[in-house]
Amino acid sequence: RGQPVATVTVTPAQDTLLEGATVQLVVQLRDAAGHRVFRTVAWSTDNPAVAVVSDSGKVTTASAGTVTITATATGASGAAHVIVQRAGVARVTVATTGVDVDLDGYRAYVDGSWDGSQGVGINGTVLLTRIRPGTRSIQLGQVASNCAVTGTNPVAITVAGGDTIPVTFNVTCARTQRIAFASGGGIYVMSASGADAAPLVSSARFTADWHPAWSPDGAKLAFVSNRDANAQIYVVNADGSGLARLTNNAASDQEPVWSPDGTKIAFASSRDGRFEIYVMNPDGSGVTRVSSEQAEEFEPSWSPDGARIAFTTVRDGHEEVYVMNADGSGVTRLTNAPAGNLEPSWSPDGARIAFRSNRDGNPQIYVMNADGSGVTRLSNNSDGDMQPSWSPDGSRIAFTKNVSGCDD
């Protein structure tokens, strides 16, 4: 039968828990000589409205108060004293202003801990629940490097049981180099390093969005979508809000590009029976045709001073790059290669134009002076390289590469 039980020790002997929490109690039985003995243990609670205990010693709290949990074995007993508190709540609201905001949002933490943290949108609200009463800190984390919290971060709050404490963070974002691109039928944005790609605009099934173009201040993005049956031009804020349709006709409107001062959008449209270059206001009003050749003309690109537009035309029986004044006058041919030259992109300093050419057998990226001289091949491989686009500082050129039939 063994030695009788002399002492019953319950661990932890004291604990403070929130409503709805659990804790596993551990018991040790010893005889008068201090040796461990093993007997069946019976668990009980003196206040089941506050907490209950299972046959294995697991305590589950129910409401605020104090409770004593007792373990009994062959006449000896030991106890644990538990205080149950009501949890507090922090209502965290974030307001983000500026450009190039982080579309992935942020994360709100209590006392810097991942446990209980919640993701929150760039202009959103989230509830951080089950906060212990007392002085706590609420921190907004995962803030992009080009964004800063205005004011204190973290914010100290004093929480009592049942309280809901409002906490507001204001975030301001500065312009940074970000790349917008089309993938899988939607518009995405990512940092210039290729990291942090996030969806900005998504279409319904069997529709697609493509050809994104940043406004000069980085606050808006124009793009093409067939979400309303045919290809039309839309605009959206840099955070994905404020979607608006700019063009509305039965033809195809494509390839929007903003003027350097942000007051105009040039685009290609087939509304007059073939593709020509048009210009409109940023709200879609004031549409004016600026090209007038009896041939397809498309892929407009503004010069940095807004005075000229480079474009692609097939007036010579194949694609060539031309330039004209912004009103359509002063048309000048820049390239001359029957294999095809297209997709002009003006450098930020206005001195050069990058373009795609098939002159050496497959699509590759070239650059020339703004007058068409000094043509230099930049890419040289067996893949298809196309759609060049300059970085804002003119130090780099982003482009699309076709490898094994896939565009990246």
User: Cα dihedral sign for 356, 357, 361, 364?
Assistant: negative
Q: Which of 143, 173, 203 is the last residue of a domain?
A: 173
Tokens encoding 23:
């804790």
Which are the contacts of 330, defined by CB distance < 8 A and separation ≥ 6? 308, 324
CA–CA separation, 403 and 275 (whole Å): 29
Least Cα distance to 172 among 120, 95, 244 occurs for 95
pLDDT at 192: 76
Write phi, then psi, for 151 (nearest 5 degrees). 100, -165
Same domain, 46 and 110: no
Identify whether the C-beta of residue 132 lies closer than 8 Å to the C-beta of residue 158.
Answer: no
One DSSP character per residue, 268-303 reads EE-TTSS-EEEEE-TTS-S-EE----SS-EEEEEE-
* Any domain includes 407: no
Do the beta carbons of residue 57 and residue 24 sit within 8 Å? yes
Same-domain status, 164 and 307: no
CATH of the domain at 101: 2.60.40.1120
Strands (E) located in 19-124? 22-24, 26-30, 36-37, 42-45, 51-53, 58-61, 65-73, 76-85, 88-98, 106-110, 113-120
Lowest mean pLDDT among 52-56, 130-134, 202-206, 312-316: 202-206
Residue 294 banded pLDDT, cuts 50, 70, 90: confident
Per the listing, tokens 């942090």 go with 196
Residue 408 lies in a domain: no
Q: Quick one: which of 339, 311, 314, 340 has its CA closest to 324?
A: 311
Which of residues 297 and 406 earns the better pLDDT score?
297
Check the CA dihedral 365-369-375-376 and report its sign: negative
Q: Is residue 38 in some structural domain?
A: yes
Identify whether residues 218 and 341 lie together within a single domain: yes
pLDDT more than 70, % of the chain: 99
Write the pLDDT tens digit of every residue in 57-95.
999 999 999 999 999 998 899 999 999 999 999 999 999
**What are the CA-CA distances from residue 40 to residues 23, 28, 43, 73, 104 (Å)?**
20, 11, 10, 6, 54
Helix (H) or strand (E) segment spanning residue 240 = none
CA angle 187, 207, 249 (to 5 degrees): 95
Is pLDDT above 80 for 177? no
User: Per-residue pLDDT averaged across 214-224, rounded?
Assistant: 89
Q: What is the mean pLDDT of residues 37-42?
A: 94
Percent of the chain with pLDDT over 90: 70
Query: Does 4 reside within a domain?
Result: no
Q: What is the reported pLDDT for 200?
A: 85
Question: Confidence band (pLDDT; 50, 70, 90) for 408?
Answer: low
Predicted confidence (pLDDT) per residue in 239-269, tens digit:
888 999 999 999 999 999 999 999 999 999 9
Domain end marker among 85, 110, 141: 85
For every residue of 341-360, DSSP letters joined together read EEEEEE-TTSSEEEEEE-TT
pLDDT (average), residues 200-221: 85
Same domain, 204 and 153: no
What sign does the CA torsion over 214, 220, 225, 231 have? negative
- In tens, the pLDDT along 296-354 reads 999 999 999 999 999 999 998 999 999 999 999 999 999 998 888 999 999 999 999 99
Both 245 and 390 in a single domain? yes
- Residue 197: per-residue pLDDT: 83
> In this predicted structure, what is the pLDDT of residue 247?
94
In a domain, 123, yes or no: yes
Query: What is the count of structural domains for the chain?
Result: 3
Any domain includes 59: yes
pLDDT in tens, 104-113: 899 999 999 9
295 CB neighbour count, 10 Å cutoff: 13
If one counts every other C-beta atom within 10 angstroms of the C-beta of residue 406, the result is: 7
Q: How far apart are CA 139 and CA 358, in angstroms?
A: 54
Instruction: Please indicate, yes or no, whether residues 215 and 248 belong to a single structural domain of this protein.
Output: yes
Average pLDDT over the chain reads: 91
Is 121 within the bounds of a domain? yes
Say if residue 256 is in the same domain as residue 311. yes
Residue 1 predicted with pLDDT over 60 = no
- Domain final residue, candidates 123, 144, 173: 173
* Rounded Cα–Cα distance for residues 381 and 401 (Å): 10
Q: Are residues 55 and 190 in the same domain?
A: no
- Let me know: does 32 contact 6? Beta carbons within 8 Å: yes
Residue-number span of the structural domain to which 208 is assigned: 178-402
Residue 91's pLDDT is what?
96
pLDDT value of residue 381: 86
| Cα radius of gyration rounded to whole Å, the chain | 34
How confident is the model at residue 201, as a pLDDT? 85
pLDDT the model gives residue 198: 84
CB-based burial, 104-138: b 16+ in 10 Å, e otherwise = ebbbbbbbeeeeebeebebeeebebeebbbeebeb
Same domain, 227 and 366: yes
CA 262 vs CA 249, 280, 387: distances in Å: 23, 11, 22
Residues 70, 92 share a domain: no
Q: Examine the domain organization and report whether 165 and 20 are in the same domain.
A: no
Strand order in the sheet with 88-98: 125-131, 88-98, 164-173, 147-150
In a domain, 70, yes or no: yes
Is residue 272 located within the same domain as residue 148?
A: no
- Judge if pTM exceeds 0.75: no
- For the cut 90, the answer to whether the pLDDT of residue 145 exceeds it is no
Confidence label for 102 from pLDDT (cuts 50, 70 and 90): confident
* Distance of alpha carbon 339 from alpha carbon 397, whole angstroms: 23
CATH of the domain at 244: 2.120.10.30
